[in-house]
Structure 1
């Protein structure tokens, strides 16, 4: 009747649709790791580049729009409005509306900034159209760059580590995450 999980996982190896769905779900968990691991799968010949990139772009942009939507829903929920000090003069809405492109682009490249800033864009009612356009453009730039670097690293790991390539890729993912954490801690004030 319904395929089992092992059947679905086995089918993912040959089905671009299931591969794309797995990549999209992966972006909801950890975007950068999903991008790096997807590039590695492309490098091993398991996934085609167009399937990989389209799935990454779709998953990341849908996730970004989801964060915006959570902010918008919070703005409409009275208890959330009580938890957040909202300027009564509308300056928050004006500022986020005027700076939505800058906010999205800057936060795409600063680790840890997307969640608070994208939800704030939704909370303060920045234009969803401008937000979506900025999210698409920033995702195209960042994800393509990270994917290209990951392809090169994956090629090196396959050539030099053979069966140990996944350990090397795990180290690469960990390095990207740690560098992001270090950058985030350097830019935040001491407590």
Structure 2
């Protein structure tokens, strides 16, 4: 999927707006793949770094806000309210969110298994939208720049060293990202969960 999406974006790389919208939409499907794709395109000089970063940043933040809004509207469903209030997984996340909500929303961005649940539950619990939005902005800013820079650096190093295997860059980048996600997830879950 990554290779096909990237090939489609490469075919339209002459239109900055088209690539921007394509990367932004990709974040709604798989944000990690979008970051890899953006870094790969930037490594190959097919998209400017600021354009790639802004596309993934806006896509991730708006996706997080959509989860929050989904949680807000989910409060209206009686069966869902009951299921949420009795689930032990939601109880754990709810407990985390009521203690130091900004810090925990910030940390949830870095723990892949908790993003959807944590951000949706934030809306469900009616946490302050401004608190949620500010935590999402700060965490996504750091996350996007950190991961993009890491993947871009790996891509540049790989391209300079192994110029004949540019096609391998998305695979290497995705592997690096998955490894970073795994390490962060285990470290933060052990520490905070």
TM-score range, shorter chain: 0.7 to 0.9
Offset at residue 178 of structure 1 (A): 4.4
Q: Aligned residue for 1:4?
A: none
- Counterparts in 2 of 1:169 and 1:95: CA distance versus 1, 3 Å: closer
Could you say which residue in structure 1 is the equivalent of 2:150?
Answer: 149
SS in 2 for 1:102: helix
Q: Which runs of 5+ in 2 are unaligned?
A: 1-7, 87-92
Match of 1:48 in 2: 48
CA RMSD, aligned part only?
2.7
How many aligned positions are there?
A: 177
Partners of 2:130 and 2:30 lie apart in 1 by 25
Taking structure 2 as the reference length, the TM-score comes to 0.80
Matched, 1:65 2:65: yes
Q: Deviations over 1:108-151 (max 9, x none)?
A: 11221211111110110001111111101111111101111111
In our comparison, the structure showing a higher alpha carbon Rg is 1
Deviates more, 1:105-114 or 1:56-65: 105-114
Tell me: CA distance 1:26–1:149, structure 2 relative to 1, closer, same or farther (3 Å): same
Instruction: Spell out, residue by residue over 1:44-82, the C-alpha distance to the aligned partner (whole angstroms, 9 max, x if none).
Output: 110012211111110000010011111111112122112
User: Structure 1 segments of 4 or more deviating over 2 A?
Assistant: 8-12, 92-100, 178-188
Query: Counterpart of 2:85 in 1: which secondary structure?
Result: coil
Change (3 A) 1:129 1:159: same
Q: Which residue of 1 aligns with 2:140?
A: 139
Conserved in 2, the CA contact under 8 Å of 1:161 and 1:168?
Answer: no
Structure 1 runs not aligned, ≥5 long: 1-7, 87-91
Residues 110, 181 of structure 2: 8 Å contact kept: no
